[in-house]
Amino acid sequence: MLLNIPAHPELRKIVVLNPKGGSGKTTVAVNLAAHFAANDCKTALMDFDPQGSTMRWAHNRPQERPFIHVVDACATNPRVTRSFQLRIPPDVRQLVVDTPAAMSAQRLSQFTRGAHAILVPVLPSDMDIHAVSQLVADLLLVAKVSRRMGRLGVVANRVRENTLAYRRLMRFLESLNIPVVGQLRDSQNYVHAAEQGLGIHELPPSHTAKDIEGWAPLIDWVGQRMATPLTPRDLMSPLQAVPGGVLVRPAAAPVAAPTPDPQALAAGLPPARRYDPPAGRS
């Protein structure tokens, strides 16, 4: 499915992705959208996940809450063009894109192109840490998202601070040199809010004060990214079309995936997997 979001110059785009299922993509996406809408920013939320969790959240959202324009990017309607289906009203200023699990490396670049911010939620478990090392490699190498552009940020999700898993995750992320821009507590408030179509900021503050603390740095970071204009590099397509219509990565010397530092290894963390381009991708 080709991503062809008809954008306008004032539209800012945040993409939430991690091919690992259940890492918190939808949670981060809907909470960000609810936050923007509550702050008088015309907001759209786009759901590329066929599971439709974001669509369900939007369906549950009470009408009296700040309006969010929702686009079901998985709906098929043969009577309209793809770009018509994905159209965003011209008064929308903020777009939040929720992506599906199990997305291929090549598809990543369709989402990251033209994004003002790319957020990767990660759970503190060894399996998730391994998965994210591959994802970061794919983002840097295949989608050509550069660390220096500063548009890529990790959100440590379902954090319980005094656990070994949390400390391993933080040390690992530090070793990747990718900023951890937010830490969200493991809290049932996210589950309750989601059931009601609300963001955590829309629950009674007496119940959520600690959860909301974790959002402050994330919202600051996102605000800075939104205020930083896109460069031609942000808009560049890293993939080249070749005869036959197959998309391939431009030929380049193989590069190793980012590996954790020796300290991270000493902490008992297995090494990050090296980046092996799948067969057929040059």
Ligand X SMILES: Nc1ncnc2c1ncn2[C@@H]1O[C@H](COP(=O)(O)OP(=O)(O)OP(=O)(O)O)[C@@H](O)[C@H]1O
Interacting residues with Mg ion (CB under 5 A): 25-26, 49, 53
Q: Among 6, 53, 126, 196, indicate the residue that binds ligand X (CB under 6 A).
A: 53
* Residue 134 binds: one of ligand X, Mg ion, none (C-beta under 5 to 8 A by kind): none
Scan residues 86-115 and list those touching ligand X (CB under 6 A): 101
Residue 13 CB, nearest approach to Mg ion (Å): 18
* Residue 194 binds: one of ligand X, Mg ion, none (C-beta under 5 to 8 A by kind): ligand X
By rule CB under 6 A, what count of residues binds ligand X? Answer: 19
How far is residue 244's CA from residue 221's CA, in Å, rounded to a whole number?
Answer: 41
Q: Does 175 bind ligand X (CB under 6 A)?
A: no
- The nearer residue to ligand X, 144 or 185, going by C-beta atoms, is 185
Q: Nearest 5°: CA angle at 96, between 10 and 222?
A: 75
Q: Does 186 bind ligand X (CB under 6 A)?
A: yes
**Residue type at 82 in one-letter notation:** R
Contact present, 49 and 100 (Cβ < 8 Å): yes
Q: Which two tokens stand for residue 6?
A: 């008809």
- 153 φ, ψ (degrees, to nearest 5): -140, 145
* Residue 22 binds: one of Mg ion, ligand X, none (C-beta under 5 to 8 A by kind): ligand X
How far is residue 259's CA from residue 175's CA, in Å, rounded to a whole number?
Answer: 7
* Residue 176 CB neighbours (<10 A): 23
Contact present, 71 and 83 (Cβ < 8 Å): no
How far is residue 142's CA from residue 140's CA, in Å, rounded to a whole number?
Answer: 6
How far is residue 278's CA from residue 268's CA, in Å, rounded to a whole number?
Answer: 28
- The nearer residue to Mg ion, 17 or 88, going by C-beta atoms, is 17
Helix (H, G, I), strand (E, B) or coil at 237: coil
- The nearer residue to Mg ion, 49 or 138, going by C-beta atoms, is 49
- Any bridge partners for residue 41, and if so which? none
Q: Which two tokens stand for residue 7?
A: 């954008």
- The nearer residue to Mg ion, 26 or 106, going by C-beta atoms, is 26
Q: Does 196 bind ligand X (CB under 6 A)?
A: no
Site string for ligand X, 146-165 (x = CB under 6 A): -----------xx-------
- The nearer residue to ligand X, 25 or 113, going by C-beta atoms, is 25
Contact present, 124 and 158 (Cβ < 8 Å): yes
- The nearer residue to ligand X, 23 or 94, going by C-beta atoms, is 23
- The nearer residue to Mg ion, 57 or 221, going by C-beta atoms, is 57
Q: Does 26 bind ligand X (CB under 6 A)?
A: yes
Q: Does 128 bind ligand X (CB under 6 A)?
A: no
Nearest-CA neighbor of 133 among 143, 144, 122? Answer: 122
Q: Among 127, 191, 209, 253, indicate the residue that binds ligand X (CB under 6 A).
A: 191
Q: Cβ contacts of residue 154 below 8 Å, gap of 6+?
A: 119, 120, 121, 122, 132, 173, 178, 179, 180, 181
Residue 185 CB, nearest approach to ligand X (Å): 6
Residue 161 CB, nearest approach to ligand X (Å): 13
Which stretches of the chain bind ligand X, using CB under 6 A? 21-27, 49, 51, 53, 101, 157-158, 184, 186-187, 190-191, 194
